[in-house]
């Protein structure tokens, strides 16, 4: 006898099926057949009912979405009303462009939303120069979390924003002012000058930037490039920024960690106040959060000694034995921010006529900056002091004032003490018209061995009126006045009148506020 497990499967299964079918009554079979026919015949009607139910659900959800969008618009309007910002623009029919909203949602979903380290006053402060847009931030946070202007590069996860602006300046000098296109009090002639006027038209402030953002699982990677037309010749392109930031590690050229790009005054003059720390330099920087809205960054930056010895019998050739080191502590608040930065560097040069081939001196400085919102207005300020930090200041950079010889008997270098400060107040007359008043002061403590024509002190004053008539177009007028004093007491002054027109390529937070 064969084992049951060795029998074919059908010899086992068929007897079982016969027994199961025999146990089912004919009535049950007839009932089963008619039930199947009924289900098949009723299937189209059931599908139609299902489709009608689905359409009703979609319509109900769409109505709910529209209601939520209207509520969001009302809430945003209330926030803008309380914060003093104008309401966001909507289409002429009063509804929200859901396609545009969807694109913004896609960008925000990929890159992240919300701001943890930037205060409201920083995001809403408007400046003509747009320097805050180019400034690196902790965690690569944007000034506007809605990411206006960004679009995805086809076939990639990379987002790109093409930014910058076109700017034309008409400049009229009532007296010789040194630089024809930038107002630099230290360049004002102190010797008697002929009483001639000078006029020029410049497009050199025009700039273009590319802002790449690449989302990853934990953070965004940023690549930023920017240039303008202030090269060596009339309209030669010049590189301003070129840096990459991965999380909080930055490598490349951008604003020095010693300066604060969020405290630049809102003005038409390209150069800015005489006492403003404004320098872009190659660097390696790392930052981290100490606590919410409090950050600390450290950087190693490219060195350069600004030494210009003009004394009979002595000359100097600057060199740089070590990189500059900077530290920055920053606190953000909704009403403004405050920042304290420190600089440590070595100023060095080969001095002919001295006993040694080179001389190197230690230089240091501190910079306190901040901003504060006063209603709809904003005030910004900066105070700096140090020894041998002149290269970082607007007015003293390029004057050879980092260090000087002490005396003929002791022809060694001495870092020159410098103090500087400026303040600016921005006032909105109406939502589309604003003004700023600015004053700055800078002074270098000279050595006895320096020549009488060496730079000693400068003052800077400016006032403007800027109007945003339509879209991203801003036009304005500005009056500037500066004066310079040399070590021997000789001085010179110059007034300037400017008319400017600027159009932003992308409407960012700097233009939303003036609508």
Instruction: Give yes or no: residues 164 and 28 share one domain.
Output: no
Q: Are residues 273 and 404 part of one domain?
A: yes
The total of structural domains in the chain comes to 2
Q: What is the pLDDT of residues 101-129, one digit of tens each?
A: 555 556 777 787 667 889 989 999 999 99
As a whole number of angstroms, the distance between CA 6 and CA 308 comes to 106
Mean pLDDT of the chain, nearest integer? 83
Task: For residue 158, give its domain range.
Answer: 120-512
Residues 411 and 306 in one domain: yes
415, 416, 409: which is closest to 355 by C-alpha? 409
Q: Tell me, yes or no, whether 38 and 136 share the same domain.
A: no
CA gap 25, 149 in Å, rounded = 74
Give me 131's structure tokens: 């320097």
Query: Which of these, 439, 417, 385, lies nearest to 274 by C-alpha position?
Result: 439
Nearest-angstrom CA–CA distance, 282 and 275: 22
Same domain, 404 and 299: yes
Same domain for 376 and 269, yes or no, is yes
> Closest Cα to residue 473, out of 507, 497, 499, 435?
507
Across 411-425, average pLDDT: 92
| Same domain for 37 and 125 | no
Cα distance between residue 1 and residue 454, in whole Å: 123
Assess contact for 445 and 418: CB atoms under 8 A. yes
Q: Is residue 232 one of the residues assigned to a domain?
A: yes
Is 62 inside any structural domain?
no
Confidence of residue 145 (pLDDT cuts 50, 70, 90): confident
Contact in structure between 153 and 159 (CB atoms under 8 Å): yes
Same domain, 245 and 391: yes
pLDDT digits (tens, 9 = 90+) for 223-260: 999 999 998 777 899 999 999 999 999 999 999 999 99
Q: What is the DSSP letter of 140?
A: G
In a domain, 259, yes or no: yes
Q: What percent of the chain has pLDDT over 70?
A: 76
**H/E segment holding residue 162:** strand 159-173
Retrieve residue 169's tokens. Answer: 């300046």
Residue 144 lies in a domain: yes
pLDDT at 450: 87
CATH code: domain of residue 358: 2.40.160.10
Looking at residue 509, its pLDDT comes to 47
- Which of 75-89, 182-196, 296-310 is least confident? 75-89
- pLDDT score, position 207: 96
Mean pLDDT of all residues in 482-506: 94
The sign of the dihedral angle between the CA atoms of 58, 63, 67, 73 is: positive
| List of residues 6+ apart from 73 with CB closer than 8 A | 88, 90, 96
Q: Are 428 and 415 in contact (CB under 8 A)?
A: no
Give residue 510's pLDDT band: very low, low, confident or very high (50, 70, 90): very low
Q: In terms of domains, do 131 and 36 share one?
A: no
Question: Which residue blocks in 323-465 are alpha helix, DSSP H?
Answer: none
4: in domain: no
Helix (H) or strand (E) holding 341: strand 336-352
Specify if 463 maps to a domain. Answer: yes
Residues 38 and 173 in one domain: no
Instruction: Give phi and psi for 452, each to the nearest 5.
Output: -65, -25
Q: Are 303 and 444 in contact (CB under 8 A)?
A: no
* 410 falls within a domain: yes
DSSP state string for 96-118: --HHHHHHHHHHHHHH----SS-
With bands split at pLDDT 50, 70 and 90, how would you rate the model's confidence at 186? very high
How far apart (Å, rounded) are the C-alpha atoms in residues 490 and 205? 32
pLDDT higher than threshold 60 for residue 25: no
- The answer to whether residue 239 sits within a structural domain is yes
Q: Are residues 276 and 417 in the same domain?
A: yes
Do 29 and 144 belong together in one domain? Answer: no
């Amino acid at each position: 006898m064969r084992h049951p497990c060795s029998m074919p499967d059908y010899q086992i299964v068929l007897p079982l099926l016969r027994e199961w079918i025999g146990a089912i009554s004919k009535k049950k079979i007839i009932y089963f057949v008619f039930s199947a026919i009924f289900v098949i015949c009723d299937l189209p009607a059931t599908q139609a009912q299902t489709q009608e139910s689905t359409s009703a659900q979609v319509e109900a959800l769409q109505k709910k979405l529209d209601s939520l969008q209207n509520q969001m618009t009302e809430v945003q309007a209330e926030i803008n009303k309380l914060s003093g910002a104008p309401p966001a623009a909507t289409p002429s029919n009063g509804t929200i462009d859901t396609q545009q909203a969807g694109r913004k949602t896609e960008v925000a979903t990929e890159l992240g939303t919300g701001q943890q380290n930037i205060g409201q006053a920083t995001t809403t402060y408007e400046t003509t120069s747009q320097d805050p847009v180019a400034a690196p931030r902790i965690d690569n946070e944007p000034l506007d979390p809605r990411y206006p202007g960004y679009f995805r590069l086809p076939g990639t996860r990379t987002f790109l924003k093409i930014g910058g602006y076109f700017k034309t300046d008409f400049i009229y000098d009532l007296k010789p002012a040194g630089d024809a296109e930038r107002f630099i009090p230290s360049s004002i002639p102190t010797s008697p000058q002929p009483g001639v006027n000078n006029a020029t038209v410049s497009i050199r402030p025009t700039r273009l930037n590319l802002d790449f953002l690449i989302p990853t699982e934990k953070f965004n990677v940023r690549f930023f490039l920017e240039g303008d037309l202030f090269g060596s010749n009339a309209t030669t392109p010049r590189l301003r920024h070129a840096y990459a930031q991965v999380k909080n590690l930055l490598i490349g050229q951008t604003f020095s960690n010693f300066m604060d790009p969020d405290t630049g005054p809102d003005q038409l003059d390209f150069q800015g106040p005489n006492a403003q720390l404004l320098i872009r330099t190659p660097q390696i920087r790392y930052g981290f959060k100490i606590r919410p809205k409090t950050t600390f960054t450290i950087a190693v930056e490219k060195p350069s000694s600004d030494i210009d010895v003009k004394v009979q019998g002595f000359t100097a050739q600057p060199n740089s034995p070590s990189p500059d080191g900077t530290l920055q502590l920053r606190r953000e608040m909704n009403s403004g921010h405050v920042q304290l930065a420190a600089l440590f560097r070595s100023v060095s040069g080969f001095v002919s006529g001295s006993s040694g081939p080179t001389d190197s001196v230690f230089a240091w400085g501190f910079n306190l900056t901040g901003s504060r919102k006063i209603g709809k207005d904003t005030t910004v300020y900066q105070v700096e002091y140090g020894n041998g930090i002149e290269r970082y200041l607007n007015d003293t950079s390029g004057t050879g004032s980092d260090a000087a010889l002490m005396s003929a008997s002791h022809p060694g270098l001495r870092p020159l003490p410098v103090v500087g400060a400026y303040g600016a107040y921005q006032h909105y007359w109406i939502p589309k018209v604003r003004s700023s008043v600015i004053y700055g002061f800078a002074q270098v403590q000279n050595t006895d061995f320096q020549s009488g024509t060496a730079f000693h002190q400068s003052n800077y004053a400016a006032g403007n009126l800027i109007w945003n008539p339509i879209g991203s177009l801003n036009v304005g007028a500005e009056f500037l006045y500066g004066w310079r004093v040399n070590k021997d007491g000789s001085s010179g002054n110059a007034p300037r009148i400017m008319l400017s027109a600027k159009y932003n390529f992308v409407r960012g937070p700097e233009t939303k506020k003036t609508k």
